Chain A
């Protein structure tokens, strides 16, 4: 079945460091890919998305490119801030037509001043 695998955390970086969080997926058909962010005690917020191969999603300095050939959607940011500390979830819409999301296990990012 459809699935998402994220790199394990926690990831600890210093402020202004470069961030990469790896995400790979298995899916039939043509899923859309999403990155959501969850701050402590809160719900998930959409960070960015891409709906077809080679699309690049971007928001707030974060970017991810839909790579069909490597089945990947890695999240990157050139210079992280303390306020980026959160849990990041990669997700896809599965092969059903209902739009339900299939999530990776989440990666905790901690940015130190």
Chain B
């Protein structure tokens, strides 16, 4: 059973460009979480999605960031008009169910560098 897949693994963008990060959850998992890890910091929750629904976006910046998890295909985290402060590692995690006891399985991350 393949793990959580993320692509690209590394992404370089210039200021003002758009970044699209993809996440394919583990087979059978319908719950997807996105986290951001800034340099030398822990991971911060961004958004939680189920198929076709955003359940909790309390950690998403109010502007330029959006996420989706369509009925078919991977989950997408989209960052418009990137700025240097967006440089970070973005991790996706998936779980088969949701709840306080459930384990989340993490992908390898996408490392975004904004020049």
Contact = CB atoms under 8 A, between A and B. Distances in A.
A36 B59 CA distance: 20
Contacts of B48: 98-100
B95 A44 contact: no
Contacts of B102: 99
Interface stretch (A11-19, A70-78, A89-97): A89-97
B43 A46 contact: no
Interface in B97-115: 98-109
A113 to B, nearest CB: 26
A104 B106 contact: no
B37 to A, nearest CB: 9
Contact of B100 (A32, A44, A46, A105): A32
A36 B35 CA distance: 14
Interface residues of B, number: 29
B43 A97 contact: no
B41 interface: yes
A43 B109 contact: yes
25 contacts: A34-B103, A42-B108, A43-B4, A43-B6, A43-B106, A44-B106, A93-B99, A93-B100, A96-B56, A97-B98, A98-B55, A99-B95, A99-B102, A99-B104, A100-B33, A100-B45, A100-B56, A101-B35, A101-B43, A101-B45, A101-B104, A102-B45, A103-B35, A105-B42, A106-B41
Interface of B: 4, 6, 31, 33, 35, 41-45, 48, 55-56, 59, 91, 93, 95, 98-109
